[in-house]
Structure formats: C-alpha cells, structure tokens
C-alpha cells in the first residue's frame, strides 16, 4: 500500500522545514506548497490524505483555500487541519464555516501534531474504504449476476442478493453458513461437466466453462448458471471470488432459432442430396463418362458426401433442444433395443448387442425424460462415433442398460481407440475434435457429443466417458432419471 500523502501549506520556508522534520520517518509522503494557489494545484494532483494548512498567508489565506477546496469535487472530502496562531472563538468559527476538520495552534506540541495527523489519516482512510465498500455493495446487490466470496474452508462469507436467490440463502441469514459452497450447490443443481467440477477448487484452470444446471420439471423450465472463479491473494482469509451468470436466456434464444433452422434445414439438405445423388449415378456408371471426366466426378462425389455429412452435423446440433421432452412422446426403456437396431442398419454396423439387466426385461412402464427422437439422436451420434474412430471401421459395440435408485444407466462400449485424460474431459464441448491426435482425417464438425450433453444435462442426467479397463476402446455412459408411467 502506498504511503499516505500529507500536503504541508505555509508561505514561510522555516515553518515548512519544521513540519518536514517532525513528519519525516513517520511513513508519510510529504508534499509542500508555499501559497494558496500552489496548494490547490498540488492537492488536485496528489489528492492528499490530510492537508496541514497555515491560516495567515499573503494573497489567498488559509480560510479561502479551505473554502475553495470544499467547493472542488476532487478535494471536497480531503481532511484539512488548520495551523493557526489565532486562538479566538471567532477565528475558529470562521475556520469551521470554511470547512476545516480540526485546528492546531501555534506554537504546537510536536507529539500532539503527530498524533493529530496520524488520527486524521486513519479516519480518512477508513472513511474512504467505508464509502467505496458501500458503493460496491449497493451496485453488487442490484446486479443481475450472483457474486460470492469464499474463505479457505469453501464457506460463503459474502453473497449478494442475486446469489442468495440462486442458492436459496435467506436474505436475513448471517454468513458464513455451515454448508460449504460445493455442498450447497449440490442441493439444488447438477454440477456439469463433472470433469471440470472434479478439479474444485481450481475451476479457473479448466479449458472449458463450468455450469450449475437445475433440471426442468413438469412445472418449471431448466435453469443454467455459468460459474466463473477468481483466486484471491494467498495471504488473505478470503480465498475465492465466484460469479454466477444466468445463461438460461441464451439457451432459450437458441431454442427460438431452432425453429428457423428446422425450416431452412430442408432447403439445405435437399439440393445437397440431389447433387450427391446425381454424382453417385455418374460415379457408379463409368460408361457415361470419358476418361478425362472420371477423376473429376469421383472427387466431386466424395466432397459432396462430405459436405452433406457436415451440414447434417450442424443442423442436428442446432435442432436438439425442441426434440428433448414432448410430454406425449417420452421414450420407454424397452424402445432402446428397436432404436439401436434401426441405427445399426442405417450405419451398416456388423455387431451391436443390447443387454438389459434382469429387472429391466419388462420395463415398458419405465419412461425416460426424453422423447424417442432425442434418444435416437443421442444413440445415433455415439454409435456413429464408434464407427468413425475405429481403426478398421468395424467396431464391436455393446450396450448395457441397468436401473439403480430411480435412474437408468446406459453404457455404450466399443473396441476402438483409447483417449488421454485431457481428451476425455473435453469431448462434451462444441467443436472439440479428437482426430488431430490420430493419423488421417475424420469427417465431422465436433458437435455431436455436445448435443448429447446438452440434452442429457437439461433433464438432470449425467454424461461420462472413460477408457475400457479390459482392452482398447471407450465407454460412453449416460445416466438418466426415469419416470414411472401407469
């Protein structure tokens, strides 16, 4: 912290030197002025913590300097200690009317002078801090963001009004409360992605955002809070600043756009399909082409297929929200086997097995909180990834479906590639692609698993990805709450 500034104003050099001798070595930054005009100019530059102002000066006296300082917005709050040989009642009253904070009479006692200056400096610094804190709290309490301060035990020592509403902390509750921040948020929200939250309390080192998701219910929409964290200095009791931003409106805005994307989807898909279909006919019937044109058609055909696939990826990602939970189209658990069979045929997969746990052999009364179309989108993406990333494009895929504590666990196992921990933690983010780590190019936009995560998190589910322990390949695990329907 910089030294407190003391401005000494006296037209006599000897008086200024006496005050220099008394205050040097006391931890102050001393500034000197020999006239009233110079005093006001230097005061505006330095904004002193206290002004030692001599009253009896030629030209502009101390009373006038004091009045002008009080009318200047920059100097209005600066403490002024009038140093005067005048000891009569009228002079003190005149000084008070001019705006002086205190007086000291000449000749002064050096110990008294030091004590007065020290007290005024402390009071002024406290007043400034108190004023700034009051401004800060007034602004923060009216902010649309939730703001928290945590101590080294992860307890909340400050929460603005919005943060209290998000975390259901009573407005009159004293802080800190017994629950830590991680314990409290888990009462009302799902922490996603879990790989990011597993790094707590070091969220800021993650390469992707952290969310608190309150799942949608029959009577309320989902709530998404994006969490940002800043570490404080290591030598203070307050360790972290936490910012909670409601991004639900952004999600809803995207959902409004999805209708538009659905309308233009056909206009994009149809011409691309016609182009690729026409090129397919030319490519298949070599007799229609001369030798010079065969290689051109072959290249155009391959690129048309690639363009078609990437347009499909983008449109599917933009279209996932409104397919999530139509109330009259919820997917029951038994439908998963039929959905997988259709996808298997579409993708020309050789081996896909579906294994239900014993207690799920007849599970038609158990419904997932997603529509059949949403489940198709999820499984299509995961199975297609297993195909794309298999070294020989011939994966052996197994689905294992079980129920535990009111949740359905769907595990999709393949025998393809293993991933590094860093890759596993990022695969749920949009536009993240892992093919850069392998030989050759894999078509796709990196949007599929982001779509999967968005759908699953929005209904209170969880997504996990990990390497198989019994050989090469990945396990994609989805955990979804179930609804019992009569």
Between CA 237 and CA 240 the distance in angstroms is: 9
Between CA 133 and CA 126 the distance in angstroms is: 10
476 sits in which H/E element: strand 474-481
Between CA 127 and CA 105 the distance in angstroms is: 26
Average pLDDT across the chain, whole number:
81
By C-alpha distance, which of 329, 304, 451, 307 is closest to 385? 451
Mean of pLDDT values over 315-338? 69
248 sits in which H/E element: helix 248-284
Between CA 122 and CA 125 the distance in angstroms is: 5
Tell whether the model's pLDDT for residue 33 goes beyond 90: yes
Q: Could you tell me which residues come within 8 angstroms of residue 117 by beta carbon, excluding any fewer than 6 positions away?
A: 6, 23, 26, 28, 50, 52, 81
Mean of pLDDT values over 193-197? 84
pLDDT at position 445 is 40
Going by pLDDT thresholds of 50, 70 and 90, the confidence category of residue 193 is: confident
Between CA 375 and CA 339 the distance in angstroms is: 8
Task: Give percent of the chain above pLDDT 70.
Answer: 77
* 320-484 topology per CATH: Heat Shock Protein 90 (3.30.565)
Task: Give percent of the chain above pLDDT 90.
Answer: 27
Question: In the 8-state DSSP scheme, what is residue 299?
Answer: H
- Beta strands 238-246 and 351-356: pairing type? unpaired
Domain locations along the chain: 4-139, 146-246, 248-302, 320-484
Choice among 1-5, 398-402, 407-411 with the minimum mean pLDDT: 1-5
pLDDT at position 124 is 75
> Does domain 4-139 fall into CATH 3.40.50.720?
no
Is 146-246 the same fold as 4-139? no
CB of 80 closer than 8 Å to CB of 99: yes
Between CA 348 and CA 351 the distance in angstroms is: 9
By C-alpha distance, which of 151, 295, 336, 345 is closest to 232? 151
Torsion of the alpha carbons at 415, 475, 401 and 370, rounded to the nearest 10: -120
pLDDT at position 431 is 55
Mean of pLDDT values over 468-476? 91
CB of 171 closer than 8 Å to CB of 161: yes
Going by pLDDT thresholds of 50, 70 and 90, the confidence category of residue 262 is: very low
Residues 83-100 as b or e (16 or more Cβ within 10 Å = b): bbebeeeebbebbeebbb
Question: In the 8-state DSSP scheme, what is residue 102?
Answer: E
pLDDT at position 227 is 92
**C-alpha pair distances (Å), 483 with each of 91, 217, 327, 404, 464:** 85, 11, 11, 13, 22
By C-alpha distance, which of 210, 208, 212 is closest to 186? 212
Choice among 20-29, 41-50, 186-195, 445-454 with the minimum mean pLDDT: 445-454
What angle is formed at CA 468 by the lines to CA 462 and CA 470, rounded to 5 degrees?
A: 145
Going by pLDDT thresholds of 50, 70 and 90, the confidence category of residue 182 is: very high
Going by pLDDT thresholds of 50, 70 and 90, the confidence category of residue 88 is: low
CB of 159 closer than 8 Å to CB of 148: yes
Question: In the 8-state DSSP scheme, what is residue 328?
Answer: G
Going by pLDDT thresholds of 50, 70 and 90, the confidence category of residue 349 is: very high
Mean of pLDDT values over 111-138? 76
For the entire predicted model, the pTM comes to 0.54
| pLDDT 10s digits, 219-252 | 778 888 999 888 877 766 778 889 999 988 775 6
Most trustworthy range by pLDDT among 360-364, 370-374, 420-424 = 370-374
Between CA 372 and CA 336 the distance in angstroms is: 9
Q: Could you tell me which residues come within 8 angstroms of residue 296 by beta carbon, excluding any fewer than 6 positions away?
A: none
Q: Phi and psi at residue 238, in whole multiples of 5°? A: -85, 115
> Does domain 146-246 fall into CATH 3.40.50.300?
no
Between CA 122 and CA 128 the distance in angstroms is: 10
Going by pLDDT thresholds of 50, 70 and 90, the confidence category of residue 77 is: confident
Going by pLDDT thresholds of 50, 70 and 90, the confidence category of residue 485 is: low
Between CA 119 and CA 1 the distance in angstroms is: 18
Choice among 71-75, 91-95, 364-368, 389-393 with the minimum mean pLDDT: 364-368
By C-alpha distance, which of 156, 162, 147, 168 is closest to 214? 168
């Amino acid at each position: 912290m910089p030294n407190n500034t003391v401005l000494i104003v006296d037209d006599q050099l000897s008086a200024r030197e006496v005050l220099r001798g008394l205050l040097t070595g006391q931890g102050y930054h001393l500034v000197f002025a020999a006239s009233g005009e110079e005093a006001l100019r230097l005061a505006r530059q330095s904004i002193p913590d206290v002004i030692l102002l001599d009253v009896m000066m030629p030209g502009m006296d101390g009373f006038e300097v004091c009045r002008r300082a009080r009318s200047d917005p920059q100097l209005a709050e600066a403490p002024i200690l009038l140093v005067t040989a005048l000891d009569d009642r009228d002079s003190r009253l005149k000084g008070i009317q001019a705006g002086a904070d205190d007086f000291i009479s000449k000749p002064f006692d050096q110990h008294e002078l030091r004590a007065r200056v020290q007290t005024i400096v402390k009071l002024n610094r406290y007043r400034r801090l108190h004023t700034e804190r009051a401004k800060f709290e007034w602004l923060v309490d009216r902010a649309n963001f939730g703001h928290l301060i945590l101590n080294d035990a992860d307890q909340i020592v400050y929460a603005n009004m919005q943060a209290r509403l998000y975390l259901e902390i009573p407005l009159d509750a004293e802080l800190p409360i017994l629950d830590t921040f991680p314990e409290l948020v888990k009462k009302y929200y799902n922490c996603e992605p879990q790989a990011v939250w597993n790094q707590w309390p070091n969220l800021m080192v993650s390469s992707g955002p952290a969310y608190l998701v309150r799942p949608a219910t029959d009577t309320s929409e989902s709530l998404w809070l994006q969490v940002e964290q800043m570490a404080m200095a290591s030598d203070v009791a307050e360790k972290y600043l936490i910012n909670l931003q409601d991004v639900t409106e952004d999600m809803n805005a995207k959902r409004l756009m999805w209708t538009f994307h659905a309308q233009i989807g056909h206009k994009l898909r149809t011409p691309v399909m016609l182009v690729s279909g026409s090129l397919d006919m030319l490519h298949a019937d070599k007799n229609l082409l001369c030798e010079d044109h065969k290689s051109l058609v072959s290249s155009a055909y391959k690129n048309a297929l690639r363009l078609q696939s990437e347009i499909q990826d983008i449109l599917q990602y933009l279209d996932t929200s409104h397919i999530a939970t139509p109330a009259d189209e919820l997917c029951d658990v038994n439908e998963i086997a039929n959905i997988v069979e259709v996808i298997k045929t579409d993708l020309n997969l050789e081996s896909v097995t579906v294994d239900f746990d014993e207690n799920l052999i007849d599970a038609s009364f158990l419904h997932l909180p997603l529509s059949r179309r949403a489940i198709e989108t999820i499984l299509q993406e995961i199975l297609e990834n297993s195909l794309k990333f298999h070294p020989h494009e011939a994966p052996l895929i197994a689905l294992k479906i079980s129920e535990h504590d009111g949740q359905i666990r769907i595990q999709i196992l393949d025998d393809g590639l293993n991933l590094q921990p860093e890759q596993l933690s990022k695969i749920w983010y949009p536009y993240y692609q892992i093919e850069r780590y392998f030989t050759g190019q894999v078509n796709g936009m990196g949007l599929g698993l982001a779509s999967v995560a968005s759908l699953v998190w929005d209904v209170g589910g969880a997504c996990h990805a990990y390497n198989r322990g019994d050989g090469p390949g990945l396990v994609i695990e989805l955990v979804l709450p179930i609804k019992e329907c009569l």
